[in-house]
Structure 1
Amino acid sequence: MSVAHRILYVEDNPANYRLVERMLRDQGYEVLHARDGFEGVRRAMEERERLDLILLDINLPGMDGYETATKLKALPGFDRIPVVAVTVNSMAHDRKRSLAAGCDGYIPKPISPENFPDQIRSYIRGRRDRIQPADERVYLREHARRLVDRLESSLTELQVTHERMRHGDKLATIGEMAAGFAHELNNPLASISASVELLLARTPEDSPLRRHLEIIYRNAARLQRLASGLTSFARPSDGDRVILSVKEAVEEAVLVTQHEFRKSHISLVVEIQPGLPPLEASPDHLQHALVNLLRNAAQAVRAKLARDPDAEAQVLVKVALEGDRIVVSVTDTGIGIPPEFRDRLFTPFFTTKPKGQGTGLGLYIVKQIVDDLGGRVEVRTLLGQGTTFRLHFPPAREGACA
């Protein structure tokens, strides 16, 4: 009794596979299936001793048919197994390209039910299509270029993956150190809070110092909360969200940073549209994002002044409703951001600041906070002229009150 010939068909389209399988089974063939080039190579290696033919679609996901044919023909023992391209790529150069890549034959789609069985039998019996040497040289060079391009693309993907893993390791290290930092920070913060509380008890309500003491007290409490969950600096959580006034959040962030602006002789201008809807957010996280942006803006302007002491020194904070979004923008007249750095602004641990002056987490944290609130960050910058960061926030749900 004769043993049925075994054929492996590498095809990602289930309908195409079922059509060919029915035709081949009706002719007495045993048909195996692989859905992409990687699975095709694996199955071919497993069945090598029992395979009589490999049918190969060219337009495969991942590793395409050209690469799969080249890979198969480079494996020991596959010189005896014909590899035949079955593809909709039906131009003359597609046939030559397939043969140059390592295929032994070429059957264009749509498949002819009348001719297909005879074509299959002829390849199993030893038929091998040939390509002229001159054409082979042309298409081999093209194929080599394509393989090099794919290799470069794969190397780039590996580098990106490596960077992400490296950043993940750094963020994990921060998490491990957080508990120790929190313990060291909480003790002095508790003393500060207690001292300010005593000072508040002795400061008259109408004293101009009282508001500054209240700010110190609130920020000491905020730092205590942040210290308790220090890992949020690597990936902020939703926190305890409340309905809050964007106006008050911005004004408090300005108060926290205004000394830095005065000391550097930088004008800080704030424009807030009246009647803004409230925002649902964690006050600590929102203030953290705003303070980061304000301090970055101040540093950018200082860098500009170091080069040109007569340059305009201003940071403008604007808050307005644009369409259905609350937009907080921070615009500086600083040095701007070089084009080569713009795609990496929100990458953790990336910084353009001098060594020791930045962790590279500031803008990463800002983006994480805004993303967590369902918003987005937009950057506009001109080298030598300044930068604007625009934070787009969805308002609080209808009916909420600040």
Structure 2
Amino acid sequence: MDAESLVWPEKVEAALYQAARDGELKQFYYPEEEPYLFIFSMPFNEVSSTLRGNVAVIKSLKMMNEKLSKTKIYILLSFITFILFTSLLCLLLGHIYISLPLQRLRQAMRAFRYSTDPPKPLPVYGKDELASVTQEFNRMTAELFSAYRRLDVETEHRQKLQRALQDADKLITLGHLSAGFAHEIGSPLQIVNGRARALAKCNDDYDEVRRIANILVDQTDRITRIVQRLLDFTPRSSAEPVSCDAIAAIAEVIDMLGFEARRQEVAMTFVHPESLPLISINKDSIQQVVLNLLTNALAAIVNTGAITIELSQASIIYAEQTIPSLKLTVGDTGTGIAQEHLAQIFEHFFTTRSRQGGTGLGLAVVKTLVTEMGGSVMAESELGKGSLFIIQLPWRKFL
């Protein structure tokens, strides 16, 4: 022991004296919390002897503590080094076996998004989860590319079909247009024919000849306007509304068909107020509506019958507002229309008189013209008892 160690603490001396008196073997550390001394005491005579003593061995733990400290530092450094090495190794292995495959997958996804060529399959290494993902990715891209090709083919076929349908729709529209114009031309031609026959029988009545001649001029002018629209190949355009006496306009149509009605022994009655204010309306359109309805009514009457035309002022409710209207009803005592056909009578080319030469355009034209004038049309009918058509047009006073 060095010189410093010869100065023992009082607690150590007291413990050694006590061990000598007791004559027992004793060893302990001092201090107990952070010991720097190891003390070993062994008696050198029996307890029964009068002279007692012991041999004490005191060992300094300074060097051992320093070695322990160094050992702790070494273990700590070794642990840190192991952690760093393991982390770097994990990063390296993760980069090689996880990051690089994932980067290849990402690049392949981006390339597949913008590529128009079949995708090249990614190489598969090993049998781990990433290898399984890569295999599924290769299978998925192949199936998607095949689906894209099928979709492109189907899209091309659909576009061709759409173009074909558009062409067919144009042809249908052209057919409707041509049929509509043919129907419009046919009606005045029938009137011209009837009036020409009547004119051939008028030898001495100059006034009647003049009146029939004026009707022929009006109808030929009307045919000229229709043909001009057909030559221009434009859809039916509504003429600008003009000042119109509705009673007089409808009376002209009734007068034009009077010869045909008398020939069929059909009584036509026109009920209307004594006078109505001038209204702003398309005269040609309202006359065409009345002409088509009366022509259909005459065709529906077998042998003899009656047609009643009634014109009056009424009102319609639109958007919670009461609007004055012009109400026109045309009723006949013809064969009537079956209830199951009422919902279709305003459709193009629908007719129940195909054997009698019906084209199915008269009521469709009526519906179109009334709609263009902002009005509504409805029909009531019963087989064997006749039909009633009700038309309401918004009342627009001429300013």
Query: What TM-score does the superposition give when structure 2 sets the normalisation length?
Result: 0.47
Higher helix proportion: 2
State which structure, 1 or 2, has the greater radius of gyration over its C-alpha atoms: 2
Query: What TM-score does the superposition give when structure 1 sets the normalisation length?
Result: 0.47
